[in-house]
Amino acid sequence: MAKKPTGKNTSGRGQRDLTVKVKTARGRKLSSTRWLQRQLNDPYVARARAEGYRGRAAFKIMELDDKFRFLVPGARVVDLGCAPGGWIQVAVPRINALGEKKGKAVGTILGVDLQEVDPIPGAEIHQLDFMADGADEQVKAWLGGEADVVMSDMAASSSGHKQTDHLRIIALCEAAAYLSFDVLAAGGTFVAKVLAGGAEGDLQQLLKQKFTKVHHMKPPSSRSDSSEKFVVATGFRGGRVAEPKEDEDPEAGPLG
């Protein structure tokens, strides 16, 4: 019987320091052998399997929430690009979606993804292109109102070209951010994956305009050789994004 995920961070408990070596099989690329060896020797992969999570990414949202505390009982959460569901597994007990914490508010979590995702107790999961017209209204309809948290661990398929991959990640993060502006309640939180350098340029300025605080963090469970980081924007201000007037130069500084 599979172990039920608790949403608790058990880092450092019962880990073994063993190294598994993988020989390159005939017909298998060296890169595939290295990936397999890394997986077999990754303590977070082993923890995910032992603790019943669908992937090692579950520990990233644990560590982010342990620091910023946005997955609280009663929270209404939207997980964009939720497959395979590890982030949802962590969120369900933390927001008390199953009502197991007596005396605590019961939260709601909605997962959306382009592909079908296996059900998770306590969560509502739908197939949806969140960038399609009307997706924001559909999300709010499913959620039954505004969200307290919008989170995204989405990453575009790797092209092998670092700059191209960076631009694709930022584009996904921007799209997720704009949806969050439409569905978040005042005071809400936006969490998303970016690459090294954080949320850059226009996105960085936009998040600072829309939220009271914008943080960047590389969780301990994020591989050291990965350029991924996460942006955590807290204190959503609400309202529309201010746009420059027609006769106003957006590049001009203050006069005088």
Residue in 196, 181, 194, 183 with CA at minimum distance from that of residue 240: 181
Encoding tokens for residue 163?
């700059």
The C-alpha atoms of residue 213 and residue 161 are separated, in whole angstroms, by: 32
202 is in an annotated binding site: no
Q: Name the CA dihedral angle for 248, 250, 254, 256, rounded to a multiple of 10 degrees.
A: -50
Pairing of strands 228-236, 211-217: antiparallel
Please state whether the peptide bond connecting residue 250 to the residue before it is cis, i.e. omega within 30 degrees of 0. no
The C-alpha atoms of residue 16 and residue 34 are separated, in whole angstroms, by: 20
- The one-character DSSP state at 4 is P
Element (H, E) at 91: helix 86-94
- The one-character DSSP state at 196 is T
118 is in an annotated binding site: no
129 is in an annotated binding site: yes
Contact call for residues 204 and 228 (beta carbons, < 8 A): no
- Supply the residues annotated as catalytic: 193
Pairing of strands 123-127, 211-217: unpaired
187 is in an annotated binding site: no
Annotated binding-site positions for S-adenosyl-L-methionine: 85, 87, 113, 129, 153
